[in-house]
Chain A
Amino acid sequence: MSQDIVQDSLEAPLGSTAERQAVVGAAGATPGQDWVIVTRGIKREYDMGGEVVRALRGVDVAIRRNEYVAIMGPSGSGKSTLMNVIGCLDTPNAGEYWLNGTQVSKMSDDALARVRNKEIGFVFQTFNLLPRASALHNVELPLVYAGVPGDERRRRAKEALERVQLGGRIDHRPNELSGGQRQRVAIARALVNNPSILLADEPTGNLDSATSEEIMKVFESLADQGQTVIMVTHEPDIASHARRIIVLRDGMVHSDERRSAFVEKLGLPA
């Protein structure tokens, strides 16, 4: 069922950038139930000591519920900035961003904090776990800020850790866990508040290839269960795990393809 929707949205021939945007981008998508993310003409500029860096120059992206999307691009392409905007850690200078039908591009700091808490689960390259806190406490954190009472918090955090096969390690601190285990704690933390999107920034960047595969399997199974996953990476073989690959270049969308097309182009094993 989820597969159908994805297929449906990508059924149109994805040729030139202009054609693709006409189908998937601003013109095709209206912010609403199906579309978890819709951006229109997102621009983000930084003032770096008098020099203006234009990180995003008008990005139109629309992502449906239950999609598994990779955002790729070389360094400086603006993929991190786009991730920050999508993750509500940053606000665009211009353009609109709807998350679940709500425009978040002009929200206050506190409102954005609320959105991050409820709608977004982050997985970072460097795991970003609190070093002195146990795995359980790390996973509990989003629920603390959601105001969930202690007992329920612990119960839900335990469940989330069990989902990533770490039920037996809840009292371990990050430094007592392997890299793969740490990333799985981070995934449990990202999922514990049932967010609309799981947003992963180079999730395998600090892991060896075997462990990377293991983490990608976790994402795969989450996507199969209907979780919307957005992953930022610069590694094509990691990106090829996603079902749709958006490539950014110079702050704009360069290509937006289904996995099959992407894999074919790169000559990777399907």
Chain B
Amino acid sequence: MPFVEAIRLALKQIWVQKLKSFFTLLGVMIGVTFLIAVVSIVGGMSRYMTDQVVGKIMAVNSFELRHRPNINLGEMTEERWRELRRRPRIKESDIQPVADALPPDVKWAAVGNDNLSAQSKYVAKPRQVLAFTVTDDYFDVKKMEPVSGRLFSPQEFERGMPVIVIGQDVANYFFPALDPVGRELVVRGIPYTVVGVMEKQGSAFGISFDKFIVAPHKSALNRYVNAHNVIDAIMIQTPSREGMLSTMETVRQVMRARHHLRPSQKDDFELETSDSALEFWNKIKSYLVFAGVALPAIGLVVGAIVIMNIMLVAVAERTREIGIRKSLGARRRDIMSQFLVESATLSTVGAAFGVATGFAFAKLIAAVTPLPAAVELWSVLVGIGIGAGVGIVAGVYPASRASRLDPITALRAE
């Protein structure tokens, strides 16, 4: 029997028994709904982590030389903790040798940061801000632009003038309804003139990325951000991804030489990329995806059992029909494929409904919770594919039973 014919027959059968079909499909539908919903939410979170969180912390094609990893999301053992504590800090004196070793088209910036209390004369209460001191290329690497005012001039960098650029939250809090440019913000008793307000950086998981102030590395602020002669990181950005790996190797060799490490010793510094920052997330994600697939799988197994039962009932109910078809020349495989296509169609229809409800579910969750959701095409295809697969698996036994019915007995059935 032609395939299209079989599908048409199956759809007709489903339509004739709408309510029964609905209950039959419920298991598969719920399974696929959860599959789509979980995959969408995990996918959405993943995109959010990559674009919003790590992307905000780390610039493109860049890595940071640090003494310890900045993003400490991995499992922390006692041993690793001790090893991290023994590491020497990155020093002011490391900046020049590292910078000298870099290829000419590579941008870099020394960065220090700490939480400091700041105050302005327009607001009574002081507030914590994330204070950075940076060298020349910092804004270039981070692709940050001011929305009002300007960035630092080379002279301001060179002389370590008391100037800052500030984030949106800082501007809003300390300078309510005022233009912050040209006004002063006091940190540790020293006034800094605001020369620029940076564009909004957004937030992740409710933590704002706009609570920062940035001053030149040589300014007085550096004293409060970094301990004497020490910096937090050197941020290095290469024009291409391939360049990044070789540049990382260059920096590694410079630092190993400077720390007098023997070949057998491990690095006592960190070269952190956005990949290493994402590593932990990827691990969580794999657990989530596993759970997101394993739980719906239970639904699908139940769905498969229901479909198998319903198909067995269908075969029993339609024994006479099978007998008639056989007497008219249907071969075993015709009967087999008729019932297989029927159960596969049934289950695929269920899966399609499941995709739709899963989609709606994901959107609903995205709407009422801060969790983002992104429905991915592959999950839709996998959902429908699984639906068809469940139907085929569940249909094999009933269909083969139908196909092996003896035509004479089948014709006599009531």
- Is A45 interfacial (CB 8 A cutoff)? no
Q: Report the bound CA distance from A38 to B326 in whole Å.
A: 24
Q: Contact at A144–B1, with CB atoms within 8 Å?
A: yes
Q: Contact at B327–A116, with CB atoms within 8 Å?
A: yes
- Is B5 interfacial (CB 8 A cutoff)? yes
On whether A189 and B328 interact (CB within 8 A), knowing A132-B16, A144-B1, A145-B1, the answer reads yes
Q: Contact at B408–A145, with CB atoms within 8 Å?
A: no
Q: Contact at A142–B329, with CB atoms within 8 Å?
A: yes
- Is A124 interfacial (CB 8 A cutoff)? yes
Find the B residue at minimum CB distance from A147: B2
Q: Report the bound CA distance from A145 to B325 in whole Å.
A: 9
Q: Hey, which chain B residues are within 8 Å of A129, CB to CB? A: 324
- Is A89 interfacial (CB 8 A cutoff)? yes
- Is B114 interfacial (CB 8 A cutoff)? no
Q: Contact at B329–A146, with CB atoms within 8 Å?
A: yes
Q: Contact at B411–A124, with CB atoms within 8 Å?
A: yes
The answer, among A90, A128, A132, A146, for a CB contact under 8 Å with B408, is: A90
Instruction: From B154-162, B217-225, B330-338, give the one contacting chain A.
Output: B330-338
- Is B407 interfacial (CB 8 A cutoff)? yes
Q: Contact at A117–B408, with CB atoms within 8 Å?
A: no
Residues 301-336 of B, flagged 1 when their CB comes within 8 A of A and 0 if not, give 000000000000000000011011111111111100
Find the B residue at minimum CB distance from A193: B329
- Is A73 interfacial (CB 8 A cutoff)? no
Most buried by A among B2, B16, B324, B327: B327
Interface size class of A (residues with CB under 8 A): 20 to 34
Residues facing B in A62-95 (CB within 8 A) are 84, 87, 89-90
Q: Report the bound CA distance from A86 to B169 in whole Å.
A: 93
Instruction: From A7-15, A22-30, A107-115, A176-184, give the one contacting chain B.
Output: A107-115
- Is A141 interfacial (CB 8 A cutoff)? yes
Nearest CB on A from B12, distance (A): 8
The answer, among B2, B329, B411, for a CB contact under 8 Å with A113, is: B329
Nearest CB on A from B337, distance (A): 12
Residues facing A in B329-362 (CB within 8 A) are 329-334
Q: Contact at A128–B1, with CB atoms within 8 Å?
A: no
Q: Contact at B320–A113, with CB atoms within 8 Å?
A: no
Q: Hey, which chain B residues are within 8 Å of A128, CB to CB? A: 320, 323-324, 327, 411
Q: Contact at A116–B329, with CB atoms within 8 Å?
A: yes
Q: Contact at B329–A117, with CB atoms within 8 Å?
A: yes
Q: Contact at B324–A110, with CB atoms within 8 Å?
A: no
Residues 97-120 of A, flagged 1 when their CB comes within 8 A of B and 0 if not, give 000000000000110011011100
- Is A219 interfacial (CB 8 A cutoff)? no
- Is A262 interfacial (CB 8 A cutoff)? no
Find the A residue at minimum CB distance from B324: A128
Q: Report the bound CA distance from A130 to B330 in whole Å.
A: 14
Nearest CB on B from A150, distance (A): 8
Q: Contact at B329–A118, with CB atoms within 8 Å?
A: yes
Q: Contact at A109–B328, with CB atoms within 8 Å?
A: no
Q: Hey, which chain A residues are within 8 Å of B5, CB to CB? A: 144
Find the B residue at minimum CB distance from A121: B328
On whether A89 and B408 interact (CB within 8 A), knowing A144-B1, A145-B1, the answer reads yes
Residues 123-161 of A, flagged 1 when their CB comes within 8 A of B and 0 if not, give 010001110100000000110111100000000000000
Find the B residue at minimum CB distance from A192: B328
Q: Hey, which chain A residues are within 8 Å of B333, CB to CB? A: 110
Nearest CB on B from A154, distance (A): 12
The answer, among B330, B407, B411, for a CB contact under 8 Å with A145, is: B330
Q: How many residues of B contact A (CB 8 A)?
A: 21
On whether A122 and B328 interact (CB within 8 A), knowing A84-B408, A89-B407, A144-B1, the answer reads yes
Q: Contact at A122–B327, with CB atoms within 8 Å?
A: yes
Q: Contact at B327–A145, with CB atoms within 8 Å?
A: no
Q: Report the bound CA distance from A138 to B205 in whole Å.
A: 64
Q: Hey, which chain A residues are within 8 Å of B327, CB to CB? A: 87, 89, 116, 122, 128
Q: Contact at A142–B328, with CB atoms within 8 Å?
A: yes
Q: Contact at A145–B329, with CB atoms within 8 Å?
A: yes
Q: Contact at B324–A113, with CB atoms within 8 Å?
A: no
Nearest CB on B from A12, distance (A): 35
Nearest CB on A from B279, distance (A): 58
Q: Report the bound CA distance from A129 to B325 in whole Å.
A: 10
Q: Report the bound CA distance from A132 to B9 in whole Å.
A: 11
Nearest CB on B from A168, distance (A): 24
Find the A residue at minimum CB distance from B334: A145
Nearest CB on B from A198, distance (A): 13
The answer, among B321, B328, B407, for a CB contact under 8 Å with A117, is: B328
On whether A113 and B331 interact (CB within 8 A), knowing A128-B320, A141-B325, the answer reads yes
Residues facing B in A29-56 (CB within 8 A) are none
Q: Hey, which chain B residues are within 8 Å of A110, CB to CB? A: 331-333
Q: Hey, which chain A residues are within 8 Å of B332, CB to CB? A: 109-110, 113
On whether A145 and B16 interact (CB within 8 A), knowing A90-B408, A128-B320, the answer reads no
Q: Report the bound CA distance from A109 to B321 in whole Å.
A: 18
The answer, among B1, B16, B321, B411, for a CB contact under 8 Å with A130, is: B321
Q: Report the bound CA distance from A95 to B196 in whole Å.
A: 105
Q: Hey, which chain A residues are within 8 Å of B320, CB to CB? A: 128
Find the B residue at minimum CB distance from A87: B327
Most buried by B among A84, A113, A142, A146: A113
Nearest CB on A from B406, distance (A): 8
Q: Hey, which chain B residues are within 8 Å of A193, CB to CB? A: 329
Q: Report the bound CA distance from A110 to B333 in whole Å.
A: 9
Q: Report the bound CA distance from A147 to B5 in whole Å.
A: 11
Q: Contact at B329–A114, with CB atoms within 8 Å?
A: yes
Q: List 18 A-B contacts (CB under 8 A).
A: A89-B326, A89-B327, A89-B407, A113-B326, A113-B329, A113-B331, A114-B331, A116-B326, A116-B327, A128-B323, A128-B324, A128-B327, A129-B324, A141-B324, A141-B328, A145-B329, A145-B331, A145-B334
Q: Given contact pairs A89-B326, A141-B324, enumerate 12 new A-B contacts (beta carbons under 8 Å).
A: A84-B408, A90-B408, A110-B331, A113-B330, A116-B326, A118-B329, A129-B324, A132-B16, A144-B1, A145-B1, A145-B330, A145-B331
Q: Which 7 A-B pairs have the closest CB atoms?
A: A117-B329, A145-B329, A113-B331, A142-B328, A110-B331, A89-B407, A128-B324
